[in-house]
Structure 1
Amino acid sequence: MVPFRVLVRLKVFQLAGVAGLAIPINSFLGEGEVTGVQVLLAGLLVVGSGVASTTLWFFSQRYVGELAALPPAAPGGAERLRFSVLDFWGNRQEHVVRAADVIPPFEGLERGAAKELAGQGRPSMLLLLTGEGIL
């Protein structure tokens, strides 16, 4: 989770891309005109920074750094799971859900097919969640 957190926090450097607007603005204020190339490059810089930042935010919300099983909150209560994800700025957020809201990835598969999929050595597995207020 640490390398991904560093990557998410590095998007602050994308502000330098937005700061690239200072060049055409400075040219306009100093000389009274801006070339079309400067406007185009500044626009592409801003759009690229926005797309990169949005992409990092999208994936950081879906990257689970830690999954923990929690005991029921009350005796006889539902078992719970805690998912740790990253917010926009790379800070850890905890989401607690009922274990019943997690759909097993191999649900509905025959034993042989599930064993074959599990044996492929995938480093990650997708979990589907149901219910309200989940991730």
Structure 2
Amino acid sequence: MVPFRVLVRLKVFQLAGVAGLAIPINSFLGEGEVTGVQVLLAGLLVVGSGVASTTLWFFSQRYVGELAALPPAAPGGAERLRFSVLDFWGNRQEHVVRAADVIPPFEGLERGAAKELVLDRPRMMRLLTGEGVNEG
């Protein structure tokens, strides 16, 4: 299974390389020379490919594929929750936390206040990304 994962990773990098070289090679074959602007465009294409891959990785780790309630690890212990996510390459990653550590985002809010919170885009984005939340 490992060789297939390596092959997939190499294919992604190969695609970025071919995309970055396509403009200069096409220009060289057609005109016999490559200008600085074309080299710059090729570089920007490779950078854009890297940014797109990083963005996919970033958001794929924030999509919860499965949420499971686990029994306590020891008798009388705290209940736990397991969040399962997929990484960029499709590998499953599991994060286990205590149930008491999970804070419901709309806890204690009435319907009108919850609607106001959802419509306040900057505040909602901070809530979704966990920005400004104490981890400790």
1:19 Cα offset (Å):
5.3
Q: Percent identity?
A: 97
Tell me the TM-score normalised to structure 1 length.
0.63
Q: d(CA) in 1 for partners of 2:109 and 2:103?
A: 13
Relative to 1, partners in 2 of residues 1:131 and 1:25: Cα closer, same or farther, differing over 3 Å? closer
| Contact 1:79/1:99 (8 A) holds in 2 | yes
1:40 Cα offset (Å):
1.8
Gap runs ≥5 in structure 1: none
Determine the structure 1 residue equivalent to 2:12: 12
Q: Which moved more, 1:33-42 or 1:46-55?
A: 33-42
**Count of residues in Structure 1 that have an aligned counterpart in Structure 2:** 130
Relative to 1, partners in 2 of residues 1:8 and 1:127: Cα closer, same or farther, differing over 3 Å? farther
Could you list the runs of 4 or more consecutive aligned residues of structure 1 that deviate by over 2 angstroms after TM superposition?
1-34, 110-117, 122-134
1:88 Cα offset (Å):
2.7
Relative to 1, partners in 2 of residues 1:68 and 1:127: Cα closer, same or farther, differing over 3 Å? farther
| Contact 1:64/1:84 (8 A) holds in 2 | yes
Cα distance per residue 1:25-46 (max 9 Å; x no partner): 8989999963123202211211
| Contact 2:24/2:42 (8 A) holds in 1 | yes
Tell me the TM-score normalised to structure 2 length.
0.62
| Contact 1:106/1:114 (8 A) holds in 2 | yes
Gap runs ≥5 in structure 2: none
Determine the structure 1 residue equivalent to 2:55: 55
| Contact 1:9/1:90 (8 A) holds in 2 | no
Relative to 1, partners in 2 of residues 1:97 and 1:14: Cα closer, same or farther, differing over 3 Å? farther
Determine the structure 1 residue equivalent to 2:130: 131
Relative to 1, partners in 2 of residues 1:114 and 1:30: Cα closer, same or farther, differing over 3 Å? closer
Q: Which moved more, 1:61-70 or 1:10-19?
A: 10-19
Cα distance per residue 1:99-130 (max 9 Å; x no partner): 0111112113137756999xxxx999999799
Larger % of helix: which? 2
Q: d(CA) in 2 for partners of 1:75 and 1:130?
A: 34
Q: Which moved more, 1:6-15 or 1:87-96?
A: 6-15
1:71 Cα offset (Å):
0.5
